A and B are shown apart, each in its own frame.
Chain A
Amino acid sequence: MTPQMPRSPIMDYTFEGDDGGPFQLGRMTSEIAIVIFLRYVG
């Protein structure tokens, strides 16, 4: 049996979405996400 990799807690973290409302990565509809954390907005 293949060991199940742990679910990252980031999936349940609440961000402010594009529309100003709450957004969680766990709600994404895509199979895969590239998630880029920026240093600062210059």
Chain B
Amino acid sequence: MARHNEKLVSQGIAVFVIGFGDRSSFREMRHRLESPFQFLRDTSRHSYELMGLQRSSVLRTYLHPDVVKPYVRWALNRRFPQLRRGQDRRQLGGDFVILRTGEVVYEHRERGPEDRPPVGEVAAAALSAR
């Protein structure tokens, strides 16, 4: 999404990233990704409820092939991701395009941790909402 940022900004589109992790993890992620976006936190996750974002099943969270594959790849390369304990890994996310009037014109609620919409699809939805 970051590589679309210049075009998005020029079209009057802002990107907000919302998470529920602790402040230091959030800062670290933003720094690591060199993200130009505005980051917002909601540790209560009430906003997730408001948007109808659910929790994944245990099986899909930990055993879906698309979830397991990157961990196997990391292990084969002797790289191990930093596991952030204490966060709810079953909480699902989602992507929305919202007008300033509050009208939601695009929504994708994840059905599992591997269920991400193509970045281009979200950007296109925002650009066509103009």
Which A residues fall within an 8 A CB radius of B? 5-11, 13, 15-18, 20, 23, 25-26, 28-42
Contacts and interface: CB of A to CB of B under 8 A. Distances in A.
Contact of B94 (A5, A31, A37): A37
Nearest to B110: A39
Contacts of A41: 19, 21-22, 25-26, 29, 84, 87
Contacts of B46: 13
B19 A31 contact: no
Interface string B36-69: 0011111100111011010000000000000000
Interface of B: 1, 8, 11-23, 25-26, 29, 38-43, 46-48, 50-51, 53, 81-84, 87-89, 91-104, 110, 113, 122-123, 126, 129-130
Given A7-B101, A8-B98, A13-B50, A38 B42 contact: no
The A interface, classified by DSSP as helix, strand, loop or mixed, is loop
B93 A38 contact: yes
Nearest to B104: A8
A34 B126 contact: yes
B111 to A, nearest CB: 12
